[in-house]
Structure formats: structure tokens, C-alpha cells
């Protein structure tokens, strides 16, 4: 899990320009060649143990670097929850060891396509990758042997992080330099992850983006 966290931090540092390197912002009313900073909130829907879907509030930050009909998207967000998942353990009844889990952090990057503009409304579709990290996972109960304990803890360690493809659809409404947006995302999370009850995790989000500066330097 430490390696996945380091990959997430490295992804953000490598791709996201720092504030100090941003160009002086001039009035920006155009969508093209822009660098948006955004804040968002929403809900994540997942099934940790096969007993049914649960929803958890989420919040995060994002960056959108646009051209005319495409954009690079980078984000970090966290869903807040306390639930119970499970891992395989033949030493307990039912062969499933309960695991208390809390909070999911996602580091994401992808490409968005903005095929059309309807007045100031721009629908979009996106595809990318998400590094998903469950922030805390604690196996419950007693163990029959040290080998059984080590096996369970190793399984939990392996299944608290996962890299998933992410498919996104949404729309952005521009009002000068400010844009409001709503979007829905789906990502497969069942295999080798503690969200084992359903094939996909869904995230619904809405928020605000601010056109901070030009994304491409203009020759003078």
C-alpha cells in the first residue's frame, strides 16, 4: 500500500504544474487552452461484502487542462465511511474473515473529450486510471495460529489498494471564468480488492471549476 501511495503522490507532482510556475492570469472567458482548478463533492456507491450497496460522502480537488475539444484531467478525492468487508480465511466459519475498513482515497488522471458546445454547455466523456487506496483496514477476531494471522494480514495488505480503469460522463456549464459541472464515474473494483460485493464502484460528483490561467504560453 505504501508503494501505491507513493505512486499517487508522484503522479500528482509529475503532472500538475505548481502555482509558482503558472502564468499571470489575464481575464479568461474562453474554454480553449485553459487551466481550470476545481473543487467537488458527491457520493460513492460500493458493496464491500455482498450484503448490498452503501453510499458514502466524498470530496476532493481537481485540475483540468483544456485544448479546444479535449482536456487532461487530474484529481484527488476521498470518500468517508466505516464499513465491514472480508478476506478469505479457511480457519473461520464460512471461510471469510471480517475486516473493518474506513475511507477510500483516489488519485486519478485521464483524458476528456468535449465533442460539442451547446451555447455555454459542454458535455464530455472521459477515460483514465485511478489509484484507489483504502485508508484503514483491520481484521477482526482471534487467530488459530501465527501462520493464519500472517496469511490474513498479508491478504488485507494486498487488497487495500488497486489501480482501476475509470469511465466518466458529465457536462460543464461556463459562466465567464467560472464553470459548474456534474459527472458520473464507474470503475471496476471487485477483483483483488476489499470492495468485493459488486463488480463496479460508482461515483457521482458536482462542483465548481475556475479558469485560473492560460495553459499554453502565447508568443509575443
Residue 182 included in any domain:
no
Residue 50 included in any domain:
yes
131-168 pLDDT, tens digit each = 999 999 999 999 999 999 999 999 999 999 999 999 99
> How much is the pTM?
0.82
Outline where 16-163 has alpha helix (H).
146-159
Residue 31 included in any domain:
no
Q: What is the CATH number of the domain that holds 139?
A: 2.40.160
Residue 59 included in any domain:
yes
Q: How many domains does the chain have?
A: 1
- Helix, strand, coil shares, percent, the chain, to 5: 15, 55, 30
183-203 pLDDT, tens digit each = 999 999 988 999 988 999 999
Calculate the CA dihedral of residues 63, 64, 65, 71 and round it to 10 degrees.
140
Q: What angle do CA 174, 63, 35 make, to 5 degrees?
A: 60
Q: Quote the domain boundaries for residue 132.
A: 2-11+38-174+187-214
Amino acid at each position: 500500500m505504501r508503494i501505491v501511495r507513493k505512486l499517487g503522490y508522484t503522479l500528482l507532482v509529475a503532472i500538475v504544474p505548481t502555482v509558482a510556475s503558472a502564468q499571470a492570469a489575464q481575464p479568461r472567458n474562453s474554454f480553449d487552452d485553459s487551466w481550470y482548478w476545481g473543487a467537488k463533492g458527491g457520493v460513492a456507491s460500493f458493496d464491500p461484502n455482498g450484503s448490498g450497496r452503501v453510499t458514502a460522502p466524498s470530496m476532493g480537488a481537481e485540475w483540468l487542462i483544456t485544448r479546444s475539444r479535449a482536456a487532461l484531467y487530474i484529481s484527488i478525492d476521498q470518500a468517508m465511511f466505516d464499513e465491514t468487508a472480508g478476506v478469505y480465511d479457511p480457519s473461520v466459519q464460512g471461510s471469510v474473515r471480517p475486516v473493518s475498513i474506513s475511507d477510500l482515497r483516489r488519485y486519478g488522471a485521464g483524458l476528456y473529450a468535449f465533442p460539442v458546445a451547446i451555447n455555454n454547455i459542454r458535455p464530455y466523456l472521459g477515460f483514465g486510471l485511478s489509484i484507489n487506496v483504502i485508508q484503514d483496514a483491520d481484521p477482526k477476531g482471534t487467530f488459530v495460529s501465527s501462520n493464519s494471522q500472517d496469511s490474513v494480514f498479508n491478504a488485507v495488505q494486498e487488497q487495500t489498494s488497486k489501480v482501476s480503469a475509470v469511465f466518466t460522463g458529465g457536462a460543464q456549464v461556463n459562466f465567464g471564468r467560472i464553470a459548474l459541472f456534474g459527472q458520473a464515474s464507474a470503475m471496476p473494483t471487485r477483483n483483488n480488492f476489499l470492495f468485493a460485493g459488486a463488480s463496479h464502484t460508482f461515483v457521482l460528483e458536482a462542483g465548481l471549476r475556475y479558469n485560473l490561467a492560460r495553459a499554453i504560453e502565447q508568443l509575443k
